[in-house]
Amino acid sequence: MRSFLYAIAIGLVGAALLHIVIILSLPSFTGRDAYTRVQSLGEANRFYPLADRAGDTLAPINDDPAMKTAVCTFSLENGPVRLFAEGDVPFWSLAVYDSASNEVFSMNDRTSVSGALDTLVATPIQLIGIRKAVPQELEQSILVEMRGEEGYAVLRTFVPAESRRPAANASIADASCEPFGPDQ
């Protein structure tokens, strides 16, 4: 009888260890975390507007009827990425996440320079090079230091009424998420 009590006690210790291991390692194994789901939308360096209804794919959906969301995955391996968007919307916001879906940077239209989105995402080393001689087209841009090389950007616009939807769609369709080259 006593050995069974020992067995249960050891089992409880094992359960606690297993619980910790599962919780800590789960983010690497789910296969349906936000970054993986965003990657299933398609190629990188393009803003994809999200569908309003869940389909058969992993792709994330637009989870607020009053917001229109677009997502762009990018890699900084071959240089910085410039996020640019403007449009006649009452509110927009941007969040940049790393590949583990940790927030790197977020802003909204009030915290932007001229009301338009103009942001350059770069690794710390790339930023040193850019800051040495800021190109003319980046003078108004917000420079964001990225953790790691892979990540994604989420652009949200506020759609208070159906009549505002065309403007929001146009703003997102024109949004760009392209690699920034010094000679462009």
Query: Which residues contribute to the site for other proteins (CB under 8 A)?
Result: 3-4, 6-8, 10-19, 22-24, 26-28, 30, 32-34, 36-38, 52-54, 58, 60-61, 63-67, 69, 71, 90-91, 93-97, 100-103, 105-108, 110-111, 147, 154, 156, 158, 160-161
Confirm if 157 and 171 have CB atoms less than 8 A apart: yes
Which of 1, 125 has the CB closer to other proteins? Answer: 1
In the complex, minimum distance from the CB of residue 32 to other proteins, in angstroms, rounded to a whole number: 5
In the block, tokens 């977020």 appear at: 106
Which of 28, 78 has the CB closer to other proteins? Answer: 28
In the complex, minimum distance from the CB of residue 22 to other proteins, in angstroms, rounded to a whole number: 4
HSE, side-chain direction, 13 A CA sphere, residue 49: 16
In the complex, minimum distance from the CB of residue 19 to other proteins, in angstroms, rounded to a whole number: 5
In the complex, minimum distance from the CB of residue 144 to other proteins, in angstroms, rounded to a whole number: 12
Which of 46, 147 has the CB closer to other proteins? Answer: 147
Q: What is the 3-state secondary structure (H, E, C) of 53-113?
A: CCCCCCCCCCCCCCEEEEEEEEECCCCCEEEEECCCCCCEEEEEEECCCCEEEEEEHHHCC
The three-class DSSP label of residue 41 is coil
The angle subtended at Cα 119 by Cα 82 and Cα 183, nearest 5°, is 40
Distance (Å) of CA 64 to CA 52, 60, 112, 156: 8, 12, 23, 10
Which of 5, 133 has the CB closer to other proteins? Answer: 5
Which of 54, 173 has the CB closer to other proteins? Answer: 54
In the complex, minimum distance from the CB of residue 3 to other proteins, in angstroms, rounded to a whole number: 5
